């Protein structure tokens, strides 16, 4: 391996460890929101509880869409490593579109709840619900913005060392968001139906 390539590899390793540490602190942010949600879950203040307002098939669709988006992102990283431009273009667009579809479903779910008068001000349970799920949604939104910028750079300049680094970090971020969603799906939605 040439000296420049070794140096690039070292740099990628260092930056990804730094980004990983950020992800760990983000996990702690979500941990406190999850703790709040679990404590507030029964504080419905005479309003609806989760089982009355959640639409389970829609939530399953969201979960599968986000998981597929995560797969597309992984395949994009493979295409990046093999310098397959066409595959990279397709997988990145797929990642973006699936992520956007997820966000559209989530926003329409929120809009419907607020329209029915079950906004975050209605009860402690709904405040905790909107904060937790909304924070995850905000992360997805920022991820989509980031992806759009990376996509534009890719179209203009092709695969550069810098783009490789940034896409690797984006990949970590996107997989991480899918991980958080598994717990939102389980703790907020599935466990609500069971208890």
143: left (phi over 0), alpha (psi -120 to 50) or beta: alpha
Stretch that binds other proteins, among 19-27, 97-105, 119-127, 144-152 (CB under 8 A): 19-27
Contacts (CB under 8 A) with other proteins, residues 28-47: 28, 31-32, 34-36, 38-39
How far apart (Å, rounded) are the C-alpha atoms in residues 181 and 177?
Answer: 6
SS3 54: coil
Contacts (CB under 8 A) with other proteins, residues 69-108: 70-71, 74-75, 77-78, 81-82
CB contact at 8 A, 101 and 132: no
- The smaller minimum CB distance to other proteins, of residues 31 and 149, is found at 31
How far apart (Å, rounded) are the C-alpha atoms in residues 121 and 151?
Answer: 38
Q: State the CB neighbour count (10 A cutoff) for residue 81.
A: 11
CB contact at 8 A, 86 and 8: no
Q: How far is the CB of 135 from other proteins (least distance, A)?
A: 15
CB contact at 8 A, 91 and 76: yes
Q: How far is the CB of 16 from other proteins (least distance, A)?
A: 8
Considering only 5, 24, 142, 152, the residue that binds other proteins (CB under 8 A) is 24
Binding mask 53-72 toward other proteins (x if CB under 8 A, else -) reads ---x---x--xx--xx-xx-
Considering only 11, 21, 142, 155, the residue that binds other proteins (CB under 8 A) is 21
Long-range contacts of 136-139 (CB under 8 A, 24+ apart): 136/30, 136/177, 136/180, 136/181, 136/184, 137/103, 137/106, 137/107, 137/110, 139/26, 139/177, 139/180
Q: How far is the CB of 123 from other proteins (least distance, A)?
A: 16
Q: How far is the CB of 30 from other proteins (least distance, A)?
A: 9
Q: How far is the CB of 101 from other proteins (least distance, A)?
A: 17
Residues that bind other proteins (CB under 8 A): 17, 20-21, 24-25, 27-28, 31-32, 34-36, 38-39, 56, 60, 63-64, 67-68, 70-71, 74-75, 77-78, 81-82, 172, 175-176, 178-179, 182-183, 185-187, 189-191, 193-195
């Amino acid at each position: 391996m040439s000296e420049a390539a070794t140096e690039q590899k070292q740099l990628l390793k260092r930056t990804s460890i730094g980004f990983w540490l950020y992800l760990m602190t983000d996990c702690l942010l979500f941990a406190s929101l999850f703790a709040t949600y679990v404590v507030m879950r029964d504080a419905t203040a005479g309003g609806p509880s989760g089982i009355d307002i959640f639409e389970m098939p829609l939530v399953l669709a969201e979960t599968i869409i986000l998981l597929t988006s995560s797969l597309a992102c992984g395949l994009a990283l493979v295409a990046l490593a093999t310098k397959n431009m066409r595959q990279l273009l397709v997988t990145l667009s797929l990642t973006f579109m699936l992520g956007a579809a997820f966000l559209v479903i989530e926003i329409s779910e929120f809009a419907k709840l607020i329209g029915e008068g079950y906004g975050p001000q209605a009860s402690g349970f709904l405040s905790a619900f909107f904060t937790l799920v909304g924070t995850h949604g905000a992360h997805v939104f920022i991820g989509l913005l980031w992806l759009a910028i990376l996509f534009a750079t890719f179209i203009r300049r092709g695969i550069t060392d810098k783009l490789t680094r940034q896409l690797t970090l984006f990949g970590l971020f996107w997989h991480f968001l899918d991980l958080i969603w598994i717990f939102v799906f389980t703790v907020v939605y599935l466990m609500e139906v069971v208890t």
